[in-house]
Amino acid sequence: MKKYVLYGCIFFTSCVTTKTTKENTSANNSMVVNGKLFTALYQQKAAEYKALCFQAYNIAAIRVDQYQSKTSMPKAVITDIDETILDNSPNAVHQALLGNGYDPQAWYEWSLKSNADTVPGAPAFFKYAASKGIEVFYITNRLEQERQSTLANLRKYNFPNADEAHLFLKSTTSSKETRRQQISSTHEIIMLVGDNLGDFSSLFDKKSPADRNTNTELSINDFGNRFIVLPNPGYGDWEGALLNYNYKFTSAQKDSVYKSVLKSY
């Protein structure tokens, strides 16, 4: 009888180990997990990433100097926050090392820390714009419950206009168009800064990959002029568009979609 019990335990342990190994192997092969780690590695360690950010903000400063007012309204720059002026790659790393992708609760716990570092070049540019009498407005899809922690993170690095009046959080929709229009009713918007095309125009809201590419070409003269784009290979509507904005997909389903659209030979 003891032999049967022993064999049963060995068989059960073997099954559990095999199942766990398969799950771990699946997680280790996941683009959702490993992809986030790799893009975070680029964001944190590649001098090329830093150079691209400096390039974007150097161009932004040149455009500020060149700008000629078209109205008597006060001038403003609108900027996104995440991966535009604040670097959240530690959250992506934390989640990926746990074998997870994006999770709203984990994100909230991260943002409450008010501990995100800055995107290279961001503090210097916005302080420069403010020195020219330009107001800075922050339009983000962070939620109302993140208001105080977001302001604390901005104030930590002395970003200008880091106050209630200049911070526009997500309310009922992820589209930023209504919030942009609200600011444009009182200010002359000379520039928009972001890492996601939806930060610039409603032309890119909930569009297919094909439409996003077409509208990017239609807006070609705005990039580097009125639109300043920061690099973000980690996430964004480019990813959502591939999934047809179905964020309920499992990691395996996402992996399948991603691999199906990649070019090889």
Q: In the prediction, which pLDDT does 11 show? A: 42
Percent above pLDDT 70 for the chain: 89
Position 233 pLDDT exceeds 60: yes
What are the domain boundaries of the chain? Answer: 30-257
SS3 assignment for the chain? CHHHHHHHHHHHHHHHHHHHHHHHHHHHCCHHHHHHHHHHHHHHHCHHHHHHHHHHHHHHHHHHHHCCCCCCCCEEEEECCECCCEECHHHHHHHHHCCCCCCHHHHHHHHCCCCCEECCCHHHHHHHHHHCCCEEEEECCCCHHHHHHHHHHHHHCCCCCCCHHHEECCCCCCCCHHHHHHHHCCCEEEEEEECCHHHCCHHHCCCCHHHHHHHHHHCCCCECCCEEECCCCCCCHHHHHHCCCCCCCCHHHHHHHHHHHCCCC
- Predicted confidence (pLDDT) per residue in 209-225, tens digit: 999 999 999 999 999 99
CA–CA separation, 206 and 246 (whole Å): 11
Tell me the mean pLDDT in the region 114-142: 98
CA–CA separation, 241 and 206 (whole Å): 7
CA–CA separation, 64 and 207 (whole Å): 30
Please, are residues 134 and 104 in contact by the beta-carbon 8 Å criterion? no
Q: State the chain's mean pLDDT as an integer.
A: 91
Which residues, in sequence order, are CB contacts of 150 under 8 Å at separation 6+?
81, 111, 114, 138, 140, 142, 167, 169
- Predicted confidence (pLDDT) per residue in 10-54, tens digit: 444 444 444 433 444 444 568 888 999 999 999 999 999 999 999
The single-letter code of the amino acid at 88 is N
Global pTM?
0.89
For 234, counting Cβ atoms within 10 Å of its Cβ (0-12 exposed, 13-18 middle, 19+ buried), the class is: buried
- Predicted confidence (pLDDT) per residue in 48-83, tens digit: 999 999 999 999 999 999 999 999 999 999 999 999
CA–CA separation, 182 and 176 (whole Å): 10
Handedness of CA 81, 50, 229, 61 (dihedral sign): positive
Please, are residues 86 and 123 in contact by the beta-carbon 8 Å criterion? no
**Structural fold of domain 30-257:** Rossmann fold (3.40.50)
Q: In the prediction, which pLDDT does 32 show? A: 86
